[in-house]
Every structure is written in structure tokens, then in C-alpha cells.
Amino acid sequence: MKLSVIGCGYLGAVHAAAMARLGHTVVGVENDERRYEALSKGEVPFYEPGLPEMITAEIEAGRLTFTRDIADATDAEVHFVCVGTPQTPGRHAADMTYVNGAIDGLLPVLRPGAVVVGKSTVPVGTAAGIAERLDEHGTDVSLVWNPEFLREGFAVQDTLEPDRIVMGVGPGERGQQAGKVLQEVYADILDTGTPLVVTDFPTAELVKTAANAFLATKISFINAMAELCETTGGDVTKLSEALGHDARIGRRFLNSGIGFGGGCLPKDIRAFMARAGELGADQALTFLREVDAINLRRRDAAVGVVMAWLGGRVVGKRIAVLGAAFKPDSDDIRDSPALSIAEALHVRGADVVLHDPKALANARRKSPQLGYADTVEQAAHGADAVLVLTEWQQFRDLDPAVLGEIVAGKRVFDGRHALDPDRWRAAGWEYKTLGRPHA
Ligand code: UGA
């Protein structure tokens, strides 16, 4: 089939390449000059394992092209809207500028019978508004809402082998028909037995925000338990292990530490609360305020532990921060707990030197006031404390004996329960973390 993908950021670039991989002819529409130039050459302006290879292969196979001109999407039978919905500066609500702009751009190029598929994460009620605009425009065009659940770092796999496909369709035969067209696009994926859930528009929109709200709640729940462990002498890692054996609870997303960040979970729970407020249903989501607060408190707790450790004052102390990305296998530093802790210690006068295997350039751009090092060793050289704040495998694998030779003080803070305390202590280090007072 002929498809277009409007907006080739994280979601769109992956989706465009994956749809080409399924055998469709795909044109990716990208306004941003730099991003367009990069993608056209098969370069990916962010770190995502496997994606550059897939884009290059699909461009070479002739199934994938990129353009800056939406008119090149005229031929497409299905248009995927994949633009971003960031947090509005100074407010909690989602910024809908890009979604509205994408629909404005699409209206003149839609041909009768085309299907528009919304994939962006949007406030509930958005799809109904877009469907109305399409109807008013007078073309026989239908809308399907098809949220995306991919994780950064696993984006290719999550798109080609999703754990479910959700399709919100409009009323009547026309809605069903549009859903069928999208099922045809995803036929190869559905044939492998991937569950398909067909809903109305609001339910499909809610599935996405509810899923992220649930994941955020699970993380904040275990981090609240970590706070209790700190006051009672319990061990949160054992608590996670024991809770996780209950199949109804499950072990995943029960990793405590410095909390969640990234371009999705934090902004999505805030936008969800803002939307519920607009709809007069704010009470239903008041608990998410607490989820957000617990999460942010963990960053303060980490700063507090390090400050107390270094005698209450960090002015002139050298602190090596290992990790800037919001999670490993990513170069994304949006709302990263690691970077926010590094910034907080810098503001308190510490001489912070940061290393990350992939996110250095992004971190440098966002926080030029911090010191940066190309290797762990350079960062740790002469440090009074080493903070592991993103659980990259290479940090887990560090040899405490070797690192111990180059630091000024053998103090390691483990913000993600990534290290083995016994191993570090055996090499002469003081080890501290959150939620495990006696670890
Ligand atoms: C998240 C969701 O997991 C995806 O399903 C969703 O599609 C995506 O948002 C989105 O809305 O686009 P992502 O932001 O890539 O994916 O990252 P996650 O793997 O969910 O991690 C989010 C944050 O939670 C990270 O900072 C991570 O370190 C933290 N986390 C995760 C914990 O602190 N503990 C855990 O147990 C798991």
C-alpha cells in the first residue's frame, strides 16, 4: 500500500521505516530541515539501535523516501500522524500545535477514500475534533486512532512485534471500513497472532495515557516503598523481588531508584491531569499529582545523600556523574533524573564532571555549565564521589579496584541499584544508595 508518515521524529522515523519493512511504499514528511537532510541520507539524528540500518536498507530497496513537501503525500491511501505533543511551556497541558498543523497540511492533499491514522499521544477528545474537521472538509476521508506503545531503545522491535494493536474507529460502517484498511496495513503483524483491540475514539486515546500513567504509578509506588525502607531499615530491592513473584503484580517496572524521566511518562501524566481538569473529572486523577511528587522527591533524596556524605557542603568537591540519559541504551536527556541531579549538585557548588556513552552531546547542549568527560576514567579522576545515575551495562561492569586507583575518595552512590554493593565494598569503597539503608 502507499502510506505517508507526517512527522519523522522518534515515533515517525521508526514507524516509516517499519512500514516500509512490511513491504509498503512509504513517504516520510519532515519539516525540520536538519532532520530531513539526515534521514534522507539514512542517518538518524538520535540513538536507536537497529534503526539506521533499517532506514538505509528501506531507502535502498526503494520503499522509503523522505520529503519536506506534504504535497508528495498526495498519492497515499493511509496517512499516519506521528508529530510530537510536548508539554506546553509553563503549563501541564499538551501542546497541540504540531497535531493541528499536521491536519492543516493534510487537508488539501487528501484524496477521497483516504484514511488518516492518529498515532501521536493526545488529550482525550482530540480524535473526535479531528474527525469533525475531516468531515467538514467534505472529502470522504476517515480517521482511525491507533496509539503507539514503543519504548526508546527497543523501538524497532516494539513496532514490528507489538504486544497489542489498538484501533479507535468512528461510528457505523464507515468507521469499521477504515479499521479494516488499517488492519490491511498491519496484516503481517496481525497474522503472527498479535492481539487486536478495536474501540471507539476516546477509549483508544485513553489506552495510551492510561498505560503510561499506570507505568509511572508502578515506579512511584516502589519508590514510595523505598522511602519507607529508608525509615524502617528495610531493603527495597528484596521487596521488589518478593512482590514481583506475585503474578498479579509482576516484577517489571518495580525498579526503584532516582525515578522516571524521559519525553513521555512525566509529560503524559501531567497532560492527563490537565485534561481531566478541563473535563471536570480532576478528582479521578488527583493521585497522579502524588505519583509526580514522589518521583521528583527521589531526585532530592539522592542530592541529600550525596551532600550529607560529603559533610553537608559540596563547594569545590569533585563529583563524577556516570549517566545523563533518562535510561540506558538511549541518548535522550529529556527530563532525565540523572541530569537533573547533576545540575542540582552543580548549583550547590560542586565541580561536576559527567560521562555518558551516548548522551554527552545532548547533555552538553542542555547543560553547558557542567563539566564533561569522554571516558569514565577522565570523569572519575580525582573525584570525591562517583554517582552511577543511568544503568548502562558498561557502568555495571566497572571494576571497582581499577576505578579506586584514580579517585580521590572511594565513595560510590548507586542511583539505580546497578552495582553489587559487596563487590564495591570489598574493593575498599563506601557504597550508598536509596531504599537500602544497610546494603
Ligand atoms: C514509555 C513507555 O514505556 C512506552 O510504552 C511508551 O510508548 C513511551 O513511554 C511513549 O509514550 O512514547 P520510554 O519513555 O521509552 O517508554 O521509557 P521507559 O522504559 O518506560 O522508562 C521510563 C523511565 O522510567 C526511565 O527514566 C526509566 O529509568 C524509569 N524506570 C523504568 C524506573 O525508574 N523503574 C522501572 O522499573 C522502569
Q: State the distance between the two ends of the chain, measured CA to CA, in whole angstroms.
A: 57
* Distance between CA atoms of residues 189 and 191, nearest Å: 5
Tens digit of pLDDT for each residue in 151-194? 999 999 999 999 999 999 999 999 999 999 999 999 999 999 99
- Same-domain check for residues 47 and 150: yes
**Which cell numbers in the block locate residue 227?**
522511602
Q: φ and ψ at 51, to 5 degrees? A: -70, -45
354 and 344, same structural domain?
Answer: yes
Boundaries of domain holding 195: 2-199
Predicted local distance difference test score (pLDDT) of residue 419: 98
pLDDT digits (tens, 9 = 90+) for 206-247: 999 999 999 999 999 999 999 999 999 999 999 999 999 999
Q: Are residues 302 and 412 in the same domain?
A: yes
Q: Are residues 173 and 266 in the same domain?
A: no
Percent of the chain with pLDDT over 70: 100
Let me know whether 134 and 252 are in one domain: no
Q: Is 219 near ligand 1, meaning CB less than 6 Å away? A: yes
Both 344 and 369 in one domain: the answer is yes
Number of domains observed in the structure of the chain: 2
**What strands, in cross-sheet order, belong to the sheet with 115-118?**
64-67, 25-29, 2-6, 78-81, 115-118, 142-145, 165-169, 196-199
Residues 215 and 194 both lie in one domain:
no
Please identify, among 184, 199, 214, the residue that sits at the C-terminal boundary of a domain: 199
Edge-to-edge strands, sheet with 430-433: 371-372, 351-355, 318-322, 385-388, 411-414, 430-433
Q: What global pTM score does this model have?
A: 0.96
* Residue 158: count of CB within 10 angstroms of its CB: 17
> Could you count the other beta carbons within 10 Å of the beta carbon of residue 132?
11
* Same domain as 351, residue 271: yes
Q: How far is the CA of 43 from the centre of ligand 1 (A)?
A: 25
Q: Is 8 a catalytic residue?
A: no
Task: Show the cell assigned to 71.
Answer: 504535497
Largest interatomic CA distance in the chain: 74
CB-CB contact of 434 with 305 (8 Å): yes
- The number of the ligand 1 atom at minimal distance from the alpha carbon of 154 is 15
Q: Which of 194, 152, 143, 193 is nearest to 172 (CA)?
A: 143
d(CA 265, ligand 1 centre) in Å: 6
Angle at 426 between CA 425 and CA 427, to 5 degrees: 85
b or e along 227-244 (b: 16 or more beta carbons within 10 Å of the residue's beta carbon)?
bebbeeebbbbebbeebe
State phi, psi for 369 to the nearest 5 degrees: -75, -15
Three-state DSSP at 344 gives helix
CATH code at position 238: 3.40.50.720
Burial class from Cβ neighbours inside 10 Å (0-12, 13-18, 19+) for residue 26 reads buried
Question: Using a 6 Å cutoff on CB, does residue 327 contact ligand 1?
Answer: yes
Same-domain status, 311 and 431: yes
pLDDT tens over the chain, length 439 residues: 999 999 999 999 999 999 999 999 999 999 999 999 999 999 998 999 999 999 999 999 999 999 999 999 999 999 999 999 998 998 889 999 999 999 999 999 999 999 999 999 999 999 999 999 999 987 799 999 999 999 999 999 999 999 999 999 999 999 999 999 999 999 999 999 999 999 999 999 999 999 999 999 999 999 999 999 999 999 999 999 999 999 999 999 999 999 999 999 999 999 999 999 999 999 999 999 999 999 999 999 999 999 999 999 999 999 999 999 999 999 999 999 999 999 999 999 999 999 999 999 999 999 999 999 999 999 999 999 999 999 999 999 999 999 999 999 999 999 999 999 999 999 999 999 999 988 7
212 lines ligand 1 (CB under 6 A): yes
